[in-house]
């Protein structure tokens, strides 16, 4: 497809367009706008990071932090969550959404960490992704933030939406989006790229009301409404 240098008119038909030729310019602008992107989940160790990230699926980090503030006071280690009463745990994480599935995944994951990994969160992609509720997105976050291992790019709903709107990928499957973005960015930038796109999606490129008029990428974005 044709590379795009400028945004489309708001009356134009919105279609997916290959804008990867502009990636270096886009990434340069984003890095200046978000010079030190940090995760907004609260945690104090690898296990808490894993549980918080599982809870963050389809939920805001702010809400997860409210829940884990109490959760981690009660369940102070992996053994405590492994033996948690599911009915009680469901009520405690109810506000994060999908509470039944999340509670089962959290309890089973805790049990597997004890039985299969000597009570410690595994530090490889292969091992992490066999845990219930842990796909590549969660594994990438835990590896990068918990163990300092950058093996990929965590693709959540914000990364999926923003990278698509920017024309950096035409895929909708998170695994394929991750591969597309990994080809564009240097490995040293993979971790920051995920967090940067997330922050841009939250603060500017909102799903319902994208703030194109104030977006620094508007002239480089094929989905721009200005």
Q: Which of 102, 107, 137, 160 is flagged as catalytic?
A: 137
For 64, the 3-state DSSP assignment is helix
CA gap 178, 118 in Å, rounded: 31
> CA dihedral defined by 37, 39, 43, 49, rounded to 10 degrees?
-120
pTM recorded for the entire structure = 0.87
Does the domain at 46-147 match CATH 3.50.50.60? Answer given as no
pLDDT in tens, the chain (226 residues): 334 444 443 333 344 589 999 999 999 999 999 998 988 899 999 999 999 999 999 999 999 999 999 999 999 999 999 999 999 999 999 999 999 999 999 999 999 999 999 999 999 999 999 999 999 999 999 999 999 999 999 999 999 999 999 999 999 999 999 999 999 999 999 999 999 999 999 999 999 999 999 999 999 999 998 7
* All CATH 1.10.340.30 domain ranges in the chain, comma separated: 46-147
Could you tell me what percentage of the chain is helix, strand and coil, using 3-state DSSP and rounding each to the nearest 5?
60, 0, 40
Q: Which CATH architecture best describes the domain 20-36+153-220?
A: Orthogonal Bundle (1.10)
| 192 counts as catalytic | no
| 74 counts as catalytic | no
CA gap 144, 189 in Å, rounded: 11
Q: Which of 10, 42, 120, 156 is flagged as catalytic?
A: 156
């Amino acid at each position: 497809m044709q590379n795009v240098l400028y945004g489309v008119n708001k009356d134009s038909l919105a279609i997916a367009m290959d804008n990867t030729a502009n990636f270096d310019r886009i990434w340069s602008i984003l890095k200046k706008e978000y010079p030190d992107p940090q995760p907004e989940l609260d945690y104090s160790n690898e296990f808490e990071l894993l549980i918080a990230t599982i809870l963050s699926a389809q939920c805001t980090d702010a809400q997860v932090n409210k829940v884990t503030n109490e959760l981690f006071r009660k369940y102070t280690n992996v053994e405590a969550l492994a033996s948690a009463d599911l009915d009680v745990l469901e009520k405690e994480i109810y506000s994060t959404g999908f509470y039944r599935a999340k509670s089962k995944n959290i309890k089973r994951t805790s049990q597997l960490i004890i039985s299969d990994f000597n009570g410690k969160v595994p530090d490889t992609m292969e091992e992490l992704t066999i845990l219930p509720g842990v796909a590549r997105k969660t594994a990438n976050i835990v590896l990068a933030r918990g163990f300092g291992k950058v093996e990929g790019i965590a693709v959540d709903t914000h990364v999926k939406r923003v990278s698509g709107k920017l024309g950096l990928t035409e895929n909708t499957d998170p695994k394929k989006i991750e591969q597309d973005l990994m080809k564009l960015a240097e490995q040293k930038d993979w971790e920051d790229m995920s967090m940067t796109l997330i922050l841009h999606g939250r603060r500017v490129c909102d799903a319902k009301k994208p703030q194109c008029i104030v977006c620094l990428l508007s002239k480089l974005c094929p989905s721009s409404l200005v």
